[in-house]
Structure 1
Amino acid sequence: MELPESCHRLFERPFNAVLTTLNPDGSPQTSLVWASREGDEIVMGMEGRRPKVRNIRRDPRVTVLIEDHDERDARGLPQYLLVRGTARVIGPDIADEFTALMDRQARRYLGTEKYELGNQGSPTAVIVRITADRVTGIGPWAP
């Protein structure tokens, strides 16, 4: 499924995303993450040893929520993008690709040229790519 063009601007601003995965017992595991868009995929860098990565490897169903801090609907409510999707884990052994992604995200989220938060060159770093199965929320992208 394509990510509607109306939501692309959300990935150009430093809006955090909320990623929800499923724990082995079926309960939700939720994390605040940085998210980018590459074509119609949502892309995130993370440490492979984190519970969210273990959850995705076991069950690739995820949701991503991004609040639109710029726009409100006619009722005055903040717009938000909600993507239900299927995730896949790329890596580890992708240090150069991970570093390039995190440098791009650091420019957007931190205003710095380089990502310098301690896990550059990590042997467990992975990239998660999410393909949308359903796009909803409040905004022009909602059905």
Structure 2
Amino acid sequence: MELPESCHRLFERPFNAVLTTVNPDGSPQTSLVWASREGDEIVMGMEGHRPKVRNIRNDPRVTVLIEDRDGHNALGLPQYLLVRGTARVIGPDIADEFTALMDRQARRYLGAERYELGNQGSPTAVIVRITADRVTGIGPWAS
């Protein structure tokens, strides 16, 4: 499924995303993450030993929510993008690709030229790529 063009601007601003995965017992696991868009995929960098990565490897169903802090609907409610999708884990052993992604995200989220939060060159770093199965929420992208 394509990500509607109307939501692309959300990935150009420093809007945090909420990623929800499924724990082995079926309960939700939720994390605040940085998210980028590459074509019709949502892309995130993370450490491979984190519970969210373990969960994706076991069950690739995820949801991603991004609040549109710049938009409100006619009733004054904040707009948000909600993507239900299928995730795949790329890596580890992708240090250069991970560094490039995190440097791009650091420019957007921190206004810093480089990502310098401690895990540069990490041998366990992975990239998660999410393909949308359903796009909803409140905003022009919702059907």
TM-score range, shorter chain: over 0.9
1:4 deviation in Å?
A: 0.0
What are the Cα deviations for residues 66-120 of structure 1, in whole angstroms up to 9, with x where unaligned? 0000010000000000000000000000000000000000000000000000000
Output the TM-score relative to the length of structure 2: 1.00
Return the alpha-carbon distance in structure 2 between the equivalents of residues 70 and 9 of structure 1: 10
Return the alpha-carbon distance in structure 2 between the equivalents of residues 75 and 124 of structure 1: 45
Return the alpha-carbon distance in structure 2 between the equivalents of residues 139 and 71 of structure 1: 8
1:29 deviation in Å?
A: 0.1
What are the Cα deviations for residues 1-55 of structure 1, in whole angstroms up to 9, with x where unaligned? 0000000000000000000000000000000000000000000000000000000
Runs of 4+ in structure 1 deviating by more than 2 angstroms, as ranges, are: none
1:44-123 matches, cutoff 5 A: 44-123=44-123
Output the TM-score relative to the length of structure 1: 1.00
Q: How many percent of aligned residue pairs carry the same amino acid?
A: 92
1:132 deviation in Å?
A: 0.0
1:138 deviation in Å?
A: 0.1
Structure 1 unpaired stretches of 5+: none
Return the alpha-carbon distance in structure 2 between the equivalents of residues 92 and 71 of structure 1: 37
Return the alpha-carbon distance in structure 1 between the equivalents of residues 106 and 70 of structure 2: 21
Instruction: Tell me the secondary structure at the aligned position of residue 141 of structure 1.
Output: coil
Structure 2 unpaired stretches of 5+: none
Return the alpha-carbon distance in structure 1 between the equivalents of residues 80 and 71 of structure 2: 9
Count of aligned residue pairs for this structure pair: 143
Instruction: Tell me the secondary structure at the aligned position of residue 103 of structure 2.
Output: helix
What are the Cα deviations for residues 120-140 of structure 1, in whole angstroms up to 9, with x where unaligned? 000000000000000000000
1:142 deviation in Å?
A: 0.2
